[in-house]
A and B are shown apart, each in its own frame.
Chain A
């Protein structure tokens, strides 16, 4: 049976995700209340501001925050883009803001600097096939480290993160990172730092639908860590190395 996907609709680019899901022939519904969660098979947390979503889910008479946690604990799939990946993360660098703390990743918010340094690029995402993916990063986060159960699905060159250094506050970590994780999966949770919903390429949403409908291969990352430009040794040698590598 065709699945129904909820899109958390408290703030962010909700309509774009709904459009992608509908383009794949599934039903998308906007979720604002805990009670609506009963009718969905998977949930998308869209792009937006993570501090806003933290406030709107926590400081709320409706128990949507707890309901999403239950949804995760029940093994139901969630896909978080940008804000969604921050909201799902166990750890947010330098911040105690509210989060679901469900996925074993440490994220850095706004890792590339101000909007001037937001960018489009093509990404290798082996799990989606050979064709590169046009990825749009908007003041995007990155995953600095990931636990053992996390499959790394895509990375960007850390040099991109240095574009914004002229703007000031970002630390120079050229010695620490060759690349940053920008897409990952841990069991029922999928995150991307970029926004496939802003493009016509439906492969990421299709991958998520396979997770929802039970068709995705469990070992998605076989080969995914070998995104070509890695200097694997440097990661291994460094104490702050990405544990997933």
Chain B
């Protein structure tokens, strides 16, 4: 009897299912995911209350400044960061570079960002994310792009914003666009959905699902240019479920303070008194540059198809 039940139990373990992949991002809601380039920064992020870290060799601001081809980080660096913290660790693979993604999964990262911040490896096709056992997060500028990525198996969406600028304007644009399109879709007559799906280049079934539920079928964060506690709270009030902060923390004058302030601002995003308190004396923010000053070729958000 006991043996029989044990076999029943042992045979009943499902890893990497869609449910399990979508559940990890759900646990990150209301939290801040911070870019880190070494174990020391990862520990600072964890101590400040980050819900996860993104392991990178260079933050987007440096990628912009230094140029060249930007690839997946050295596995040694990723492994060291995984060892140094207890919170989930994410890492970036190039758009379409499914081998980088395979490597990251085997290293034990908890989530892969198929990211426009790195140099795309494929200018036509994204990674088939449904094949992997761990969730992917992908950037999007509009609902069509978000639903294409979800159709490919992304378990989490983030705005692209314009990474490495410290200018929140593009993240605001993308969040408003995605959320506005969802609102419009939720009151659209059923007979219009197929043509709408065709117009935005999204899978019909997902368009129907969003129309019925009034929200994306996965968790939706903001990313790209968030540099202050007020920026984080702005994105939360607009309607995202959490934030990524890239260059904004470790390119600022006092990373510890700023990291904690952004964590608090994300949790208490509707409370101006808390926001005022945590925004005091944070030291120098990252210098940044306006997204409007970027040449077309310098824009990262246009990468992805």
Contact = CB atoms under 8 A, between A and B. Distances in A.
A and B pair up: yes
Given A12-B30, A114-B108, A115-B110, A56 B83 contact: no
A110 interface: yes
Contact of B51 (A49, A120, A122, A159): A49
Contacts, number: 141
Contacts of A168: 108
A116 B27 contact: no
Interface string A101-121: 000000001100111111111
Interface residues of B, number: 49
A169 interface: yes
A228 interface: yes
B302 interface: no
A13 interface: yes
A47 B27 CA distance: 6
Given A11-B51, A52-B51, A157-B10, A47 B19 contact: no
Contacts of B208: none
Most buried by A among B5, B9, B268: B9
A136 B19 contact: yes
Contacts of B199: none
A172 B258 CA distance: 39
A136 B50 CA distance: 23
Contacts of B46: 51
Nearest to B6: A229
Given A52-B51, A115-B24, A11 B133 contact: no
Contacts of B105: 116
Interface residues of A, number: 50
A59 B27 contact: no
Contacts of A125: none
B134 interface: yes
A115 B111 contact: yes
Interface of B: 1-2, 5-6, 9-10, 12-17, 19-20, 23-24, 26-31, 46-52, 82-83, 86-88, 105, 108-111, 133-135, 260, 263-264, 267-268, 271, 277
Given A11-B30, A117-B15, A121-B13, 8 more contacts: A11-B29, A11-B31, A13-B26, A14-B29, A55-B49, A56-B264, A118-B20, A120-B17
17 contacts: A10-B30, A12-B30, A12-B31, A14-B30, A49-B49, A82-B27, A114-B109, A115-B88, A115-B135, A116-B134, A118-B15, A118-B23, A119-B14, A119-B20, A139-B24, A139-B27, A167-B108
